[in-house]
Structure 1
Amino acid sequence: MKENIREEEILKIIKESGEISRLELSEKFDLTLARISKVVKKLLEKKMVIEKTVGESTGGRPPVYLSINNENFKNILGINFTSNQYLYITHGTISGEIIRKRKIIFDSQESEDALEFIDKIIKKEMKTSRNIGVISIVMTGVIDEEKGLSVMAPHYKLKTPKIVEYFEREYNIPVLLENDVRAMALVEKQIGSCKNTENFVILNICEGIGSTSCIERKVYRGYNSMAGEIGHIVINPSSIRKCSCGKRGCLEAESSEKAIIKKITSEIKIGKYSILKDILKERELNIRDILFGIKKKDFLVIQVMTEAMEHIARGLNILISMLDPEKIILVGEMFSSKFLMDTLKFELNKISLDIQKCGIEPTKLGEDLYFYCPIAVVVENIFENKIFTEKFIKN
C-alpha cells in the first residue's frame, strides 16, 4: 500500500475520469479511504475540485462524485499555426470544452514575421476575452517543448526561436509550445479514435510530412525532440528533388501535397495531357484539384499519386517494422479519397510482413482536429507538468 500521495496525482486522475468517487480513488491508489478523504478535503478547501454528482446507492450511503472545478481556472487561448496557409484560433477550458473558434488565412511565404503576426492575434483575442489564463501555441517543424524553442521552422519566418520566453514576457501568463503532429496525437488520444489504444502512430501529410508515435499512451519525443521526422527519411536516393531540409529524395520532397502539386504542374507544362490543364491556366493547383483529377480518372494525376502512395507505403513500413503499432491514423485531405486509401494499403501489403497486423484509417475528426490541438496540449500538461500547473494556478 502506498504511504503518501501528492495532490497533483489525485487531480490528474479526477481530470482524466471526469467524475470519480473517493472510494474509487482509494482503490486506484491503493490507499485508505481516510487518507484519500484528507487530501480531497484540502482540494475542496482550495476550490480545486467540487462535489458534483450524487451516485446511486448500493445499500449504504450514496457516493458523492468529485470533479475538477473548472471555474477555478481561466480559459485557454489556443493558436494552431499550420503549414497550409491557415491559422486556427480556439478558446477553451481545461476540461476540453471549446467555447469558440475561428480560422484565418496566413501566407507564411509573403507575410511578416510569424511571431509578430501571432502577437497581433493574441492582442485582439485578449481584448475580446478577459478570462485567458494560458496561451497554447502549436507549430510545424522541430519543437523543443521543454525549453519552449522552435528548433527548425522551414515554413515560417521567425525573428527568435524562443517562442515561450517571448510571449510569457509580453503577456505575463504561462505559455505552452508544441509540435503540430504531437498535438494531433494528444487529440486522438483524448477524444479521437485512439482513446482506448496504447500504441499508435499519427502520419500527417500537408505541405510537409510529419509523424508522431504514442508508446503506451505516451508521446515519444526522442533525444533531440526530433522523433517522428519521417518526412526527412530519404525514400528515393536517386531523386533530384530537393527537400526543405536540404537533402534530396526525402519522403516530403516526393509525396507531400506541395511535392505532388509541383510534379503534376511540371508534367503539364512540358506537354503531358491532364484535365487540370485549364485550371492551371487560371491559377496554381491545390490538393482539391488533385482529388478532382482522381475522381475523374485523370491518367497523369493517377500516375503521380500512385507513385506518391508507393513512397508513403515505404515510409509507413519502416514505422510499422520499428514500432509495431496497433493503429496508424492518417491526417491530410488526400486520405479522403477511397482510391488513394486503397492504393496505399495495397502498396503497403506488398512490402510488409503478413504477421504485422496494423489498422490504418483517416482521422474521423475532420477540421476539428486542428481547432482542438492547442486545447489538447493544455489538457495533457495540467496536473502532469508541475512547473506549468503551478504557473497556471497562481495566474
Structure 2
Amino acid sequence: MGKDLLRGSFKLMKSINRSLILNIIREKGPISRADIAKLTKLTPPTVSSFVKELLEAEIVIERNLGESSGGRKPTLLTLSEDMFHVIGMDVGSQNIKTILTSITGKVIKKSIVPLPAQTTNETLLSLMIDSVSGILDHTKIDEEKIVGIGVGMHGIVDVEEGSSVFAPNLNLQDIPIKRVLEERFNMMVKVENDGRAMSLGELWFGNGAGIDSFVCINVGRGIGAGIIINGKLYHGSHFISGEIGHMIIDIDGPQCTCGNYGCLQTFASGPSIVEWVKKEMRLGHSSLLTTLTKGDLEKVTGELIYSSALEGDTLCKTALQQAGRYLGVGITNVIHTVNPRRIIIGGGVSNAGDLIMDNIIQTVNQRALTNPAKQTEIILSKFGDDATAMGAVALILAELFTSRNTESAVAH
C-alpha cells in the first residue's frame, strides 16, 4: 500500500459518522451491521454504505461468525489487525521502551534501550531514532502500514509543539521530539507527558474503559498522573496538570530533582524507596539485602527490595508500606481536588502489588473527607510497566479514530 492510499484511508476514517462506526467496531466487534445501526442510530442503508467503503479500504474485515434465528448467518465486522500498526515509546530517565502494536493494541514487538548516565538532547534523540529503526528492522511489517509514533515522555511536555519542555530526571530542556522523528520517519508523531499518556491508554483499552472520570498515577523513578474528566484528557493551561509527584508533602523534606523540598516523589518514587533502604542499612538495620548484594549497597534495587519483602524481610516490607502511606496521602489530596470515580496506579513501583496497595487504600480510608470519598476505587493498571508505552500507542489511535468535526478527545 502506497503513502497516498494510506493517507486516503486516514481521511476516510475522519468523518463524523465513519468515526462513530469505527469506534463501535473497535469497542464492540465482531459486530453486525444491524447492531451498528441500533447503537449509532444511523439508518441501515447509511451504515451499509460506510461499511462498504471501510471494507474496500481494508480498514474493516468481515467474519462469518454470527448466529441467526433462521436463514442466512449475519456477517460480523471487525477491525483489520494487519492494516495499520502503531509504535509507542516510553521515554523514562533510565531507558527507552518501544513497542509495536496492531490497531487493536496487541503488542507485536518490544525493545528496551538503556540511557547513558549523562544524556544530552542529541544523545536522547539519536537513541529514540535507533529504537524505532530497531523495531522496524526486526519486523516484517510494511513501514507504510505504520500509522505513527506516540511518545510518552516524563516531565513537562508542550503537546502542541510535540516537544519536551523540561525532563527533570534527565535534567534536559527543549527537546524537539516531534520535529526530529517526523523528519526522520515521515509519519505522524504525537508527544505527551507519560502520566497523561498512560491515562489515555487506560481509557482506550485498559482499566479506564467506560469510566468518565478517573486519575491514572504513574509511579516509577518519578510520579506523574493523567486526569480524565468527562471522558477527556485534561492538560491545564500550562501543560503541568497531573504533576502530583511535585505536590509538596513536607516543606522540610528532602530536596527533589525539581529544586523544591519535600515533594511526594522524594518519599514514594522508586529511587526514594531505594535510598531510604540504603540509609537504614548504613545505620545498621539488618536485611536479606546484605547477603544478596554481598554488602555492596550500590547493588540495592527496587526489584531486590520487592523480592526480599516477599521473603518476609522486615526492612523491605517497611520501606514499601511507608511508600504506600505517602502515596495514600498524595492520592487523598487528588481525591479532594478532582474527586474521580477511580484511581489507577501503574509504573514500576506498582509491581509491588498488595505490599504497597494495602497501605495506599488504608491511608485513603483514614484520611478522605467523606465515606463515599473513602471508598474511591483504587486499582492497579492493566499494563503495569508497559502502561506508558500503551498510552503512547493510544495517542495515535485517538488521532486516527476521532473525527476532527467532533468534540476533541483532549480538554484544556
TM-score of the superposition, structure 1-length normalised? 0.84
Query: Within 5 Å, which residues of 2 pair with 1:49-88?
Result: 49-53=60-64, 55-59=66-70, 62-73=73-84, 75-83=85-93, 85-88=94-97
Identity %: 29
Match of 2:4 in 1: none
What CA distance in whole angstroms lies between the structure 2 residues aligned with 1:72 and 1:307?
48
Shift of 1:190: 3.5
**Following the alignment from structure 2 to structure 1, what is the Cα–Cα distance between the partners of residues 346 and 54?**
40
Counterpart residue number, 2:377 = 359
The equivalent position to 2:40 in structure 1, one of 25, 29, 35, is 29
**Preserved CA contact (<8 Å) 1:291 1:337:** no
CA contact (8 A) 1:88 1:370 kept: no
Partner of 1:390: none
Secondary structure of the 2:285 match is: coil
* Distance change (3 Å), C-alpha of 1:172 and 1:158: farther
- Residue in 2 aligned with 1:287? 302
Give the match's secondary structure for 1:164: helix
Task: Write the distance in 1 (CA, Å) between the matches of 2:347 and 2:61.
Answer: 40
- Which residue type is aligned with residue 259 of structure 1? S
Give the deviation of 1:164 after TM superposition: 0.8
CA distance in 1 between partners of 2:310 and 2:61 (Å): 54
- 2:5 maps to what in 1? none
- What letter matches 2:300 in structure 1? L
Matching of residue 139 in structure 1 with residue 148 in structure 2: no
Distance 2:68 2:354 in 1: 50
Separation in 2 of the partners of 1:337 and 1:62?
Answer: 46
SS in 1 for 2:175: coil
Q: Counterpart amino acid of 1:228?
A: G
Paired residues for 1:12-51 under 5 Å: 12-51=23-62
The separation in 1 between residues aligned to 2:82 and 2:309, in whole angstroms, is 50
The Cα offsets for residues 113-166 of structure 1, whole Å up to 9 and x where unpaired, read as 211111222233333446232222222112233331212211336575221111
Instruction: Find out whether 1:174 has 2:188 as its counterpart.
Output: yes
Residue 312 of structure 1 corresponds to 327
The residue that corresponds to 2:400 in the other structure is: 382
- Structure 1 residue 257: deviation in Å? 1.7
**Selected match of 2:285 from 266, 273, 278:** 273
1:127 pairs with 137, 140, 144, which one? Answer: 137
Q: Are the counterparts in 1 of residues 105 and 205 from structure 2 also a CA contact under 8 Å?
A: no
- Larger mean Cα displacement after TM superposition, 291-300 or 140-149: 291-300
Shift in Å, 1:253: 1.9
Equivalent residues of 1:113, 1:157 under 8 A apart: no
Any runs of at least 4 consecutive aligned residues in structure 1 with deviations exceeding 6 A, and if so which? none
- Residue 9 of structure 1 aligns with an amino acid whose one-letter code is L
Residue type at the aligned position of 2:87: L
Change over 3 Å in CA distance of 1:49–1:164 after alignment to 2:
same
1:152 aligns with 166
Going from structure 1 to structure 2, the CA distance change for 1:64 and 1:140 (only over 3 Å counts) comes to same
Deviation at 1:201, TM superposition (A): 1.9
Q: Matched residues in 1 for 2:89 and 2:194: separation?
A: 11
> Which string of whole-angstrom CA distances, capped at 9 and with x for unpartnered residues, describes residues 300-350 of structure 1?
555555543332222111111222223222224544253433233222222
CA distance in 2, matches of 1:45, 1:304: 58
Shift of 1:291: 2.8
Indicate the SS of the match to 2:237.
coil
Q: 1:318 to 1:137 in 2, by over 3 A?
A: same
TM-score by length of 2: 0.80
- Report the 3-state secondary structure (helix = DSSP H, G, I; strand = E; otherwise coil) of the residue aligned with 2:88: strand
Using a 3 Å threshold, how does the CA distance of structure 1 residues 260 and 98 change in structure 2: closer, same or farther?
A: closer
Match of 1:338 in 2: 354
Consecutive unaligned residues of structure 2, counting only runs of 5 or more, are 1-14, 406-412
1:177-207 Cα offsets, whole Å, 9 max, x none, are 2222223223333443333433322222111
Cα contact 1:113–1:159 (8 A) shared by 2: no
Which of the numbers 217, 232, 244 marks the counterpart of 2:257? 244
Cα contact 1:93–1:375 (8 A) shared by 2: no
Could you tell me whether the CA contact under 8 Å between 1:80 and 1:87 is conserved in 2? yes
Contact 2:163 2:176 in 1 (8 A): yes
Greater Cα offset, 299-308 or 213-222: 299-308
SS at match of 1:374: helix
Native 8 Å contact 1:114 1:156 kept in 2: no
Who is 1:233 aligned against?
247
Provide the alpha-carbon RMSD of the alignment: 3.0
Q: Is the 8 A contact 2:111 2:135 kept in 1?
A: no
The reply to whether residue 101 of structure 1 matches residue 101 of structure 2 is: no
Q: How many residues align?
A: 380
Contact 1:255-1:309 at 8 Å conserved across structures:
yes
1:115 aligned partner: 125
Give, as a single letter, the amino acid of the residue that structure 2 aligns with 1:325.
P
Q: CA deviation at 1:231?
A: 0.6
Is there any run of 5+ residues in structure 1 with no aligned partner, and where? Answer: 388-395
Match of 1:393 in 2: none
Question: Deviations along 1:218-241, whole A, 9 cap, x unmatched?
Answer: 2222222221110111111222x1
Q: Is the 8 A contact 1:96 1:379 kept in 2?
A: no
